[in-house]
């Protein structure tokens, strides 16, 4: 079972990132230059504000050190692949959502290792000093960036095949995400139950704070309501699968405490955001 998960988890995240890549084109990156202020605000909210809010919540709700590292791993991850769909349902600017998902996912090869290595030192001292920014970045490059680029290459050179395959790839990626979340919860059930009061408060707090804060930051910067909705959802819907995989890479365990916050958040984020988004869509 451990062998299956140790091989299957990296393959699953690679497949999910490949599915993301098949939905991207060069226009998604060019679009950033057409709306630089909106992208800059979204990037700031995701890469800087979100980890700072997570750290603040961890100081308010003291959490087991390993789980605290897992929360910071989650906060460092890019937006989830379903954020684009939810943005469309909420009447947000889908183009901005797609651009943020694409570029922040590529930047995560740099940003995630930096935050993770800092979190390990802060919360657990020298317990895992062998984890380096370069080493973790290279591992993430192999399971995230390369599959995204391969998916984009398929979209570029075989657009018809990519267009037909994309809906099925997205469905398969969603099923894989659900299975990985279930595995993370099952593997850490006793830890999950014991830490739920503090961990649950931090994760729910992260959602409650970041969803409106992302919207308010965008509006304060003079962005449209649609752009503000896109940024809000990007700040709330995290790539939990990547968080689980990074936790496994850091700990050397298949699915351990470092992965647990991402697994729990993978459930909570939909329980909180989807009803709100459906209500917004209904009103629209």
Question: What does the block give as tokens for 21?
Answer: 């890549």
Q: What is the CATH number of the domain that holds 53?
A: 1.20.1530.20
> Does residue 261 fall inside a structural domain?
yes
The verdict on residue 212 lying in a domain is: yes
- Tokens for 4? 């299956």
Which phi and psi angles does 79 have, rounded to 5°?
-65, 155
What is the count of structural domains for the chain? Answer: 1
Maximum Cα interatomic distance, the chain, rounded to a whole number of Å? 52
What's the rounded mean pLDDT across residues 155-169?
82
Token code pair at residue 164: 């037909």
Q: Which of 41-50, 125-134, 164-173, 269-278 has the lowest mean pLDDT?
A: 125-134
Comparing CA positions, the residue from 203, 239, 235 lying closest to residue 217 is 235
Please, which pLDDT band fits residue 41 given cuts at 50, 70 and 90? very high
Residue 159 within a domain: yes
Structural domain that includes position 89: 2-277
Give the tens place of pLDDT for each residue, 14-24.
Answer: 787 788 778 77
The DSSP line for 60-101 is HS---HHHHHHHHHHHHS-B-TTHHHHHHHTT--HHHHHHHH
pLDDT per position as a tens digit, 100-125: 888 888 888 899 999 998 998 888 87
Mapping DSSP to helix (H, G, I), strand (E, B) and coil, where does residue 131 land?
coil
**Residues 37, 220: Cα–Cα separation, whole Å:** 12
Task: Please indicate, yes or no, if residue 262 is contained in any of the structural domains.
Answer: yes
Q: Is residue 282 part of a domain?
A: no
Task: Give yes or no for a contact between 79 and 100, defined as CB atoms under 8 angstroms apart.
Answer: yes
CA nearest 143: which of 119, 117, 108, 187? Answer: 108
CB of 19 closer than 8 Å to CB of 166:
yes
């Amino acid at each position: 079972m451990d062998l299956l998960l140790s091989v299957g988890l990296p393959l699953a995240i690679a497949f999910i990132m490949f599915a993301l890549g098949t939905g991207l084109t060069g226009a998604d990156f060019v679009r950033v230059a057409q709306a630089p202020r909106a992208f800059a605000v979204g990037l700031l909210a995701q890469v800087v504000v979100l980890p700072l809010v997570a750290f603040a919540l961890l100081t308010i709700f003291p959490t087991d050190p390993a789980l605290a590292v897992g929360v910071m791993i989650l906060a460092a991850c890019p937006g989830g692949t379903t954020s684009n769909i939810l943005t469309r349902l909420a009447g947000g600017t889908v183009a901005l959502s797609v651009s943020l998902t694409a570029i922040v996912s590529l930047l995560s090869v740099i940003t995630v290792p930096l935050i993770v290595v800092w979190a390990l030192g802060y919360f657990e001292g020298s317990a895992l000093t062998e984890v380096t920014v370069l080493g973790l970045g290279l591992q993430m490059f192999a399971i995230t960036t390369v599959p995204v680029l391969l998916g984009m290459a398929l979209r570029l050179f075989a657009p018809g095949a990519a267009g037909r395959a994309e809906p099925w790839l997205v469905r398969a990626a969603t099923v894989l995400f659900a299975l990985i979340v279930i595995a993370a919860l099952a593997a850490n059930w006793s830890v999950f139950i014991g830490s739920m009061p503090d961990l649950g408060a931090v994760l729910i707090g992260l959602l409650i704070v970041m969803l409106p804060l992302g919207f308010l930051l965008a509006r304060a910067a003079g962005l449209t309501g649609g752009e503000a909705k896109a940024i809000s959802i990007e700040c709330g819907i995290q790539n939990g699968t990547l968080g689980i995989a990074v936790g496994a890479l850091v700990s050397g365990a298949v699915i351990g405490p470092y992965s647990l916050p991402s697994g729990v958040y993978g459930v909570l984020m939909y329980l909180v955001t989807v009803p709100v988004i459906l209500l917004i869509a209904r009103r629209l």
